[in-house]
Structure 1
Amino acid sequence: MKGSMRENGFRAIGGVAQRLTSGLSPKGKKGAKASGAPLARLKTEWSAIVGAEIARVSRPDALLAGRGGRAVQAGGGKVLRLRVEGAASLEIQHRANQLVERVNAYFGHRFIDEIRLVQGGVTAPTLAPPVAPVDPQLAARLAERVAKVEDPDLKAALARLGTHIARGRRSLMLGALGAMLFMRTSRAQTVLAQWTDDQEKLLVVRPTDHVLGRADAPNVIIDYFSLTCPHCANFAMAVLPGIRKQFVESGRVRFVYRHFPSDSIATHASQLAECGGTARFFDTIHALFRSQVDWLTAQDPEGEMVKILSAQGLAAADCLANDQLLDKIIDDVQSGQTLGVNQTPTLFINGQNCGNPGSTDAIGKILDEIGR
């Protein structure tokens, strides 16, 4: 019975979006030098990272340790071995430093130190969607927001997230929903929905919801989120603290988090978030969002999440096989599907779909217009 329920549950979540083919190795199976999620991602998105011209004559071949030439395990490589067609070797060697910078910018941290070339034939790369240019206004807003953060660790985490968001790349970081927009939906752009009775029942606080705020708060904000979504992480770290201080603690708003995982890793992350129960939910979510870049770029994302949460005293190792935790996530996903959610984060403010307003001030303006 449980096996059937679990299969049906993943099918329901799969209905939200197509699964990523991210090249993740099965848990517990260590591959050879050319295996592992980071290398698979490099191969998949090589054209988007370095450009079509270089991708035609080169191909990521292996991740190696800085010394000894051994395959790199979780934690990132120091040397990227690059297979290059003979005639292009000299040009690629001249561009090596530039390629190192592009790879590190893609991962959001210092992932490799150097590139080592080997000559050989290059098969046609699997082309990834093109990387959009950095939006200067978005980059400036992110830089301004990070500058105001006093906590150095949090500032560093936000800066890395900003790199991913500002570059606008399509990758595992964006989940199977594709390139998510950093939305600032104005009231003029918001279309009022005519909800059915079944939908209306989902726009109020439910007994299974994770809630911040007093029970008598007149306004309700419901946030559908995915733990692999960088915009959700940015919202959780840069916007939610302001919402809590200005609106939740004052008794004006009840804030609700609901799961809407966009890929299998996000589903596992949601299970881990549920692992500590209601009392620890928001602290666990914060820990996962804060370390998102670290575990999502690890060779074993699920194992890295378990390690992070175990260090905080949460017995997370057995949670990934807990069907009851999965049932809660499936219920949230199905509610989001019923309400027409198709990207994360999506906020419903007093029953109105406001997308991702983008800032505490923007949410305050919406509350001034439709608040109670």
Structure 2
Amino acid sequence: MTRWAAAALVAMAVPMAPATAQNWNAEVVETEQGYRVGDPEAPLQIIEFISYTCPHCATFDREAEAELRYHYVHEGYAAVEVRHMIRNPVDLAAALLTECGNPSRFFDNHKAVLATQDDWLATARGLTQAQMARWASGSVGNRMRAIASDLGLDDLMEGRGYSASEVSACLNDESRALEIAEKSEANVAEYAVPGTPSFVLNGTLLEGVHAWQPLRQALVAARQDNE
């Protein structure tokens, strides 16, 4: 037996290590209308419409994360695209902050803002007349910075590793603010989104689905249809 033949036999006898599974939660891209995580070719394509001042959106994010992100997305069954629905100036300030920096940071920023919603919404309910006046006057950047400062959203982002100057620059980005608002209006027009959270699955708006359990049922049914 030649040396090369012996080496080939040894190679055949030693089992190959299994390939490392793809972690689709690490695949984050900015789309034309939002941010997507997951396999762009996944059989289940979900669009999630959210407002950061919507308590039901925070509840959805909390209840859905374990199964949606760490089963459906992680395993390549689904991709999730988050799109902003801007209902008020606070939504806009929060959206600017979630989009601050590299697109790969979006979903962690998104989660952080929703996870702390109870705290900063409680602060918003106690606004003084002077604070409300600051929110409604001056340039877009001035208003966005006032909102972020009064609600502690700037501190939240600095706690996530952003510098004060980075946070300020994102809040001052008037062209980005206008773009976010225009995209929100376009989404309403395209899908006739009735409220938040709402979901589009494979191009179709899921009527009456505004929480995790109804969405989960729709995903289970869609997977069965695809098998």
Same fold (TM over 0.5): yes
2-structure distance, mates of 1:363, 1:261: 22
Contact 1:235 1:358 in 2 (8 A): yes
Distance in 1 separating the partners of 2:201 and 2:171:
32
Partner of 1:214: 39
Letter in 1 for 2:175: Q
Q: Which residue of 1 aligns with 2:159?
A: 311
Hey, what does 1:287 align to over in structure 2?
112
SS at match of 1:214: coil
Over 3 Å counting, the alpha-carbon distance change for 1:261 and 1:208 in structure 2 is closer
Tell me the TM-score normalized by structure 2. 0.67
Distance 1:329 1:224 in 2: 13
Q: CA deviation at 1:341?
A: 1.1
Q: How many Å separate the matches in 2 of 1:235 and 1:261?
A: 18
- Report sequence identity in percent: 26
Residues 11-67 of structure 1: CA deviation (Å, up to 9, x unaligned): xxxxxxxxxxxxxxxxxxxxxxxxxxxxxxxxxxxxxxxxxxxxxxxxxxxxxxxxx
Matched, 1:320 2:163: no
Using structure 1 for the length normalisation, give the TM-score: 0.42
Is 1:356 paired with 2:181? no
Letter in 1 for 2:172: A
Give the equivalent residue in structure 1 for 2:148. 302
**Corresponding residue SS for 1:344:** coil
C-alpha separation between the residues in 2 aligned to 1:295 and 1:206? 28
Q: What is the count of residue pairs matched by the alignment?
A: 167
Gaps of 5+ in 1: 1-204
- C-alpha change, 1:294 and 1:364, in structure 2 (3 Å) is closer
Task: Tell me, yes or no, if the aligned pair for 2:56 and 2:211 is still in contact at 8 Å.
Answer: no
User: Residues of 2 paired with 1:227 and 1:364: CA distance?
Assistant: 22
1:223 maps onto 2:53 in alignment: no
Task: State the match for 1:144 in structure 2.
Answer: none
How big is each residue's C-alpha offset from its partner over 1:150-198, in whole Å with a ceiling of 9 and x where there is no partner?
A: xxxxxxxxxxxxxxxxxxxxxxxxxxxxxxxxxxxxxxxxxxxxxxxxx
| Paired residues of 1:295 and 1:302 also in contact (CA < 8 A) | no
Deviation at 1:369, TM superposition (A): 3.0
Write the distance in 2 (CA, Å) between the matches of 1:357 and 1:295: 23
The yes-or-no answer on 1:336 pairing with 2:161 is no
Residue 357 of structure 1: CA displacement?
Answer: 4.5
Q: Which amino acid aligns with 2:170?
A: C
In structure 1, the residue matched to 2:11 is: none
Instruction: Give unmatched runs, 5+ long, in structure 2.
Output: 1-29, 132-146
Secondary structure, in 3 states, of the residue corresponding to 2:192? coil
1:152-167 pair list within 5 angstroms: none
Alpha-carbon distance in structure 2 between the residues aligned to 1:206 and 1:278: 10
Greater helix share, 1 or 2? 2
Whole-angstrom CA distance in 2 between matches of 1:244 and 1:363: 13
Higher relative contact order (CA 8 A, sep 6+): 2
- Distance verdict in 2 for CA 1:292–1:368, change over 3 Å: closer
Residue 156 of structure 2 aligns to which amino acid in structure 1? I
Q: How does 1:34-49 map to 2 (within 5 A)?
A: none
State the SS of the aligned residue for 1:297: helix
Offset at residue 310 of structure 1 (A): 1.1
CA drift at 1:285: 0.8
Letter paired with 1:358: A
CA gap 1:317/1:296 in 2 versus in 1, 3 angstroms: farther
Q: Measure, in 2, the Cα distance between the counterparts of 1:368 and 1:312.
A: 35
* Pairing of 1:182-221 with structure 2 (within 5 A): 206-221=31-46
1:247 aligns with: 72
Partners of 1:332 and 1:236 lie apart in 2 by: 22
* SS class of match (1:223): strand
User: Could you tell me which residue of structure 2 aligns to residue 234 of structure 1?
Assistant: 59
CA distance in 1, matches of 2:220, 2:170: 41
Distance in 2 of aligned mates of 1:222 and 1:319: 25
Distance in 2, matches of 1:331 and 1:347, equals 19
